Amino acid sequence: MKTGRRTVAVATLVGALGLSVLNAPAAQAADTGITVSDIVINHGKPIVVGTSKEVEPPMTFNLALPAGYSVEGTAGSWHAYPFLYRGDLKKAADTGENYIGPGGYTCYASDSRHAHCEGNLYIDPHPSQEHVDSNSDATTWKVAVSLRLFKASGALKAGEIEKRSKTVQLKRAAKATVNATPEPVTKGKKITVTGKLTRANWSTKKYDGYGGRTVSLQFKAKGTDTFKTVKKATTSSTGALKTSVTASADGSYRWVYYGNSTTGVATGASDYVDVR
């Protein structure tokens, strides 16, 4: 809870679709008067997902309720949250296919009808889920908002889903490894630096070699804080990397891949070489 702000609503949805307005009778699908604005997802950056670890990208938004409703009113009197989808919106909302929803969020009242909400989306790459079950999911996802008002009895009063122009890029995670030999090495001699670049395969839930990629070899001299690119290499068809450099000083080597439209950045652990 943030100091000086009143917590007014806490929703734990864990990506569940259950409140989809498109599953409600058509007569109930009507303008709610709820306004959701200033949506920010993952600080405006792409979302990178691997093969097993759950990912919870942060999101924030502002909320305004219509007259007669209060953000501090009875729990369940309204629901409003952003979600991601790709392809057909109705199909995503009805079936949960190509849909990524919130894990939960908390709203903080600024007055009786307005609040600032903070929470997260929820993405689980596990095979039992449909969040990222195909490599084609590594693309641009659209943003929509689910809005609902309920009567005092708990029955649905009005509900709608609003499309937004905002988009979010979903990317496959990548990994890089490194090995520099020999260790130690005589100054002026050659150091062979090998490694491998792999990326998440969401269909198999494994990491595959990523071929034909340009990867930067970086070096950080002992006693300094900054890695600098000293050479570039292209991965083989299996993702293998190999190049050589001249040993000039003690320091650490690492491979860095800067990603692309479907693949995240990969920064490998460093390998220290003692130069004598």
Q: Which amino acid is at 261?
A: S
CATH class of the domain whose range is 6-171:
mainly beta
What is the model's pTM? Answer: 0.89
Return d(Cα 156, Cα 149) in angstroms, integer: 6
Return d(Cα 272, Cα 250) in angstroms, integer: 8
Span 152-170, average pLDDT: 93
Q: What is the pLDDT of residue 14?
A: 56
Distances (CA, A) of 235 to 5, 168, 181, 195, 209: 52, 28, 19, 9, 9
Q: Are 115 and 36 in contact (CB under 8 A)?
A: no
Q: What is the pLDDT of residue 118?
A: 96
Q: Are 233 and 241 in contact (CB under 8 A)?
A: yes
Q: What is the pLDDT of residue 117?
A: 95
**Least confident interval from 65-74, 128-137, 139-148, 202-211:** 65-74
Concatenating the DSSP letter of every residue in 191-212 gives EEEEEEEEEEETTTTEEEE--S
User: Does 6 score more than 70 pLDDT?
Assistant: no
Q: How confident is the model at residue 93 (pLDDT cuts 50, 70, 90)?
A: confident
Q: How confident is the model at residue 65 (pLDDT cuts 50, 70, 90)?
A: very high
Return d(Cα 112, Cα 124) in angstroms, integer: 35
Q: Which helix (H) or strand (E) holds 89?
A: helix 89-95
Return d(Cα 137, Cα 88) in angstroms, integer: 14
Domain at 174-273, CATH homologous superfamily: SOR catalytic domain (2.60.40.730)
Identify the residue with better confidence: 234 or 104: 234
User: Does 141 score more than 60 pLDDT?
Assistant: yes
Q: What is the pLDDT of residue 19?
A: 44
Q: How confident is the model at residue 29 (pLDDT cuts 50, 70, 90)?
A: low
Q: What is the pLDDT of residue 8?
A: 59
3-state secondary structure at position 153: coil
Total residue length of the chain: 276
Span 167-172, average pLDDT: 98
**What residue ranges do the domains of the chain occupy?**
6-171, 174-273
Span 211-216, average pLDDT: 98
User: Does 17 score more than 80 pLDDT?
Assistant: no
Torsion angle defined by CA atoms of residues 71, 39, 168 and 137, in that order, rounded to the nearest 10 degrees:
10
Q: Are 169 and 46 in contact (CB under 8 A)?
A: yes
Tell me the torsion sign for CA atoms 23, 28, 29, 33: negative
